[in-house]
Amino acid sequence: MIILGIDPGLGTMGYGVIEAQGDKRRVIQYGVISTRPGEATPQRLRSIFKGVNQLLDIYQPDDVAFEELFFSKNVTTGMAVSAARGAAIVAVAERTENLYEYTPNQIKQAVTGYGRADKHQVQQMVKLLLHMEDIARPDDAADALAVALTHANSVNQKQLFKIR
């Protein structure tokens, strides 16, 4: 099974592609889709839409998993990230209904065994679980790999996490 994990963001959207076979996991690719801060929002969203479509063309994932958004302080940032997440979801939804989402705490729990783990703990476990030599950079890409790992570990109950 090929899984595309996405960590939503307007300026930087992380992605991580892994292969999961039974208990084995391996990295296929990871990185970010970046947009320019001075560019108008509609153009930035179009760039994200096109970038996600390119990922779908290249990797042809079986499932796509998103990190669910959680903003408690900056509503303006939350709205921009929500728009970016929406553009990515539309790109995926045009091709498949296999869209899933996980909360930050679910991701931390699945990857580290502790739902309140810090970013560094999650990155270290992603590195270990995927047998990587170094921690994935930038952070958004590492987070996206964590999302993909979470989905791989939840595959037997994946219908519970389907985006509806």
Q: Which one from 63, 101, 140, 143 is the annotated catalytic residue?
A: 140
Q: Is 143 a catalytic residue?
A: no
Residue pair 35/44 in contact (Cβ under 8 Å)? The answer is yes
Residues written for the chain = 164
In the chain, where are the structural domains located?
2-161
What is the reported pLDDT for 79?
A: 87
Mean per-residue pLDDT, 108-126: 95
Q: CA torsion sign, 91 to 94 to 100 to 103?
A: positive
User: Given this model, what pLDDT does residue 71 score?
Assistant: 59
Active-site option among 7, 63, 101, 143: 7
The more confident residue out of 154 and 72 is: 154
- b/e per residue, 49-85, with b = 16+ CB within 10 A? bebbbebbeebebebbbbbbbeeeeeeeeeebbebbb
Provide the pLDDT for residue 147: 98
Domain 2-161 in CATH 3.40.50.300? The answer is no
**Active-site residue flag, 23:** no
The pLDDT of residue 74 is: 64
Is residue 97 part of the annotated active site? The answer reads no
Residue 43's contacts (CB-CB under 8 Å, 6 or more residues apart) are: 35
Catalytic residue (choose from 63, 67, 101, 143): 67
For residue range 129-153, list pLDDT tens digits in order.
999 999 999 999 999 999 999 999 9
Bridge partners, 15 (sequence order): 6, 31
pLDDT of residue 69: 81
Average pLDDT over residues 56-76: 85
